[in-house]
A and B are shown apart, each in its own frame.
Chain A
């Protein structure tokens, strides 16, 4: 059955809204169209799965796009070696349930092979890009699905749904293909590729409203629970092997949840009592700070840090 929030508006409710799709249904339909367009036109697509809420919604919609057939492409996880263990278990559950093929591109492995070098600040945000690009090349992928949304960040607000990357995986923001109507152009020469963002037009609130309406299973870390945390630069980090207590720091137990899930050494939790999907939706509807501003140490570096990373081939 279609959950009520997604069912098309019926004429008896409001004659002016007859044959008008709801916001969530319109967004879902647009994403399904994008998935099918890629499956029809690209030779070897692959879906980037991080275990976060956005890539989970992507996967849930990809399943719908091809039902009753299985999803016709593999998924890839760029494993920085800094994942919350809960997220890895969650990833493997999805892979098993949907019968997917999983490719893991490992950053620790690449460090060992000398492909990339650990950065002094311990962030593997930048060095995961060459690892991703190597895996793309080895597997011959000409298209990668990413869960990025335009509301997340101002460089992303300018990116196309079908975003062209050259032989080096680079994004050139000044040289993007015009994108009109829903006539997407995925044509590439060998070695070039397209990054496709099926959730471009979704907002954080849309994602949560959809997860709640569709009862999409998401990682437990998104739900509020009492956790041992330390406060650093105004951000709350869970005490674990990635962010251990340093000398002189004290930790305390607080009821927190994660608004985004990235690397465990960089992603901060927020204080929250939202332990159900409905409470999370209500919290996000009222919140006044962006998710990246609230939870990511890595995006505070400069005004254009996202644009710079994207130019190098990052998502």
Chain B
């Protein structure tokens, strides 16, 4: 039974032309996750539309507008499992006008699976996808060179793409980069080893995903415990109980550990770490626990527990890369937004927009006053309350924030905090 399995989150990017839907359909089908009635429905609709093949894109394109236009608009979440692992796929559209959707999918991904067509080689789109994956701190990037059948299974074709991409990736922050030559249509190197490419001595895609070592991607060093909710039962049986509920952002917490509470700076020690199933000896990410402390301190939601000698930066000036997601209005210098960082809300003023990044060429475009939909740029914010931040590179939990429009309440921006954060 599925007792030992863990959970791997992957984001896929690529266009329909790259064969992405075929690849996902094959992963689902070959791992026996695609159900017979789902397949029958897709076959029926394909026939009704006069396709002479089963259009597996119909599986993932679930919305009426997507089916009508034949494009993927939004992130779709798909699930499959093997005896070794459970997978969550955030399947994102590839086109530049959906950059925000790829940013969304990549924000929680352990691995980004980027797909390109062996005949076309590296395009602007593949560069953009790799840049977004690296910006969002996805620890592993897997480049699948698809349609190898159409280049006669040529090792030279694969090698030249690999060399060109490695060269490009030196300009990005990529921790782990792998390449797999595949044919999604024929199933080569998807689940089983290809017989057509004996020169490839790596693992097929699914085996690679099953074995990917992700434990060290988690930050187990810097203790960051954002207080999410204070549990104070008003009953006689547990009088005086005060538990701080939250999800471990990073680091490992143990009873007896000294902790510092932010923003007060007061120090105490962890008394117990509790769950509804009983106390635990340690808590690590992403466990949801309740911490009790040795001293009665005034602590509320939005506060953070850390170690006395390993604190995040307490900052009201934030330097970040922001992806703008609002189609109704650009982010403008001087604009004010609500900001959510860990479990803390504040207001933020856009003090400056230093430059925008051309996501295809990675060039910086300076002298701008606003960021439009899908644009990514470097901005300086000032917040009304101090936030307890780390750089996104060090910590995906305390290095990320969203911006919310205060009139419409829509989520309009996503930010990753850079190194130049100024202490308050």
Interface residues of A (CB under 8 A from B): 1-6, 8-9, 16-23, 25-30, 32-33, 36-37, 39-40, 63-70, 150-151, 153-158, 173-174, 176-183, 185, 187-189, 200-201, 203, 205-206, 209, 281, 285, 288-290, 293-294, 303-304, 307
Across the two chains, which residue of chain B brings its CB closest to A173? B63
Q: Does B53 contact A (CB under 8 A)?
A: no
Q: Roughly how many angstroms separate A90 CA and B237 CA in the complex, as a whole number? A: 27
Given contact pairs A22-B4, A23-B7, A185-B404, A65 touches B74 in the complex (Cβ within 8 A): no
Contact A1 B79 (CB under 8 A): no
Q: Does B232 contact A (CB under 8 A)?
A: yes
Most B CB contacts (10 A, CB to CB) among A39, A176, A182 go to A182
Contact A183 B229 (CB under 8 A): no
Measured between beta carbons, the chain B residues less than 8 angstroms from A30 are 286, 288
Contact A67 B340 (CB under 8 A): no
Across the two chains, which residue of chain A brings its CB closest to B397? A181
Q: Roughly how many angstroms separate A70 CA and B2 CA in the complex, as a whole number? A: 32
Given contact pairs A40-B301, A181-B400, A293-B35, A68 touches B238 in the complex (Cβ within 8 A): yes
Interface stretch (choices B182-190, B306-314, B407-415): B407-415
Contact B107 A181 (CB under 8 A): yes
Q: Does B231 contact A (CB under 8 A)?
A: yes
User: B28-45 CB contact bits vs A (8 Å, 1 = yes)?
Assistant: 000010011110010001
A211 CB to closest chain B CB (Å) equals: 13
Measured between beta carbons, the chain B residues less than 8 angstroms from A6 are 277
Q: Does B385 contact A (CB under 8 A)?
A: no
Across the two chains, which residue of chain A brings its CB closest to B48? A303
Q: Roughly how many angstroms separate A3 CA and B59 CA in the complex, as a whole number? A: 36
Most B CB contacts (10 A, CB to CB) among A1, A23, A205 go to A23
A50 CB to closest chain B CB (Å) equals: 22
Contact B4 A1 (CB under 8 A): no
Interface residues of B (CB under 8 A from A): 1-7, 32, 35-38, 41, 45, 59-65, 67, 73-79, 81, 85-86, 88, 100-101, 103-104, 107-108, 213-215, 218, 220, 228-229, 231-235, 237-238, 241, 243, 245-247, 252, 275-278, 280, 284, 286-288, 290, 301, 325, 338, 340-341, 343, 396-397, 400-402, 404, 409-411, 414
Across the two chains, which residue of chain B brings its CB closest to A34? B288
Contact B65 A174 (CB under 8 A): yes
Contact B6 A178 (CB under 8 A): no
Across the two chains, which residue of chain A brings its CB closest to B74? A158
Measured between beta carbons, the chain A residues less than 8 angstroms from B284 are 8, 19
Contact B6 A22 (CB under 8 A): yes
Q: Roughly how many angstroms separate A67 CA and B279 CA in the complex, as a whole number? A: 12
Measured between beta carbons, the chain A residues less than 8 angstroms from B74 are 158, 173, 176
What are 24 A-B pairs at a CB distance below 8 A? A17-B215, A23-B85, A23-B86, A29-B247, A36-B228, A39-B229, A67-B290, A68-B237, A154-B60, A154-B62, A158-B75, A173-B64, A173-B74, A178-B104, A180-B107, A181-B396, A182-B247, A183-B400, A185-B410, A201-B88, A289-B35, A289-B37, A294-B37, A307-B64
Given contact pairs A40-B228, A155-B63, A187-B338, A23 touches B276 in the complex (Cβ within 8 A): no
Contact A21 B2 (CB under 8 A): no
Q: Roughly how many angstroms separate A179 CA and B340 CA in the complex, as a whole number? A: 12
Across the two chains, which residue of chain B brings its CB closest to A6? B277
Across the two chains, which residue of chain B brings its CB closest to A209? B2
Across the two chains, which residue of chain B brings its CB closest to A282? B1
Q: Roughly how many angstroms separate A23 CA and B5 CA in the complex, as a whole number? A: 6
Contact B35 A36 (CB under 8 A): no
Most A CB contacts (10 A, CB to CB) among B36, B41, B73, B79 go to B79
Measured between beta carbons, the chain B residues less than 8 angstroms from A16 are 213, 215
Contact A17 B6 (CB under 8 A): yes
Q: Roughly how many angstroms separate A265 CA and B134 CA in the complex, as a whole number? A: 52
Contact A5 B3 (CB under 8 A): yes
Q: Roughly how many angstroms separate A173 CA and B104 CA in the complex, as a whole number? A: 16
Measured between beta carbons, the chain A residues less than 8 angstroms from B238 are 68
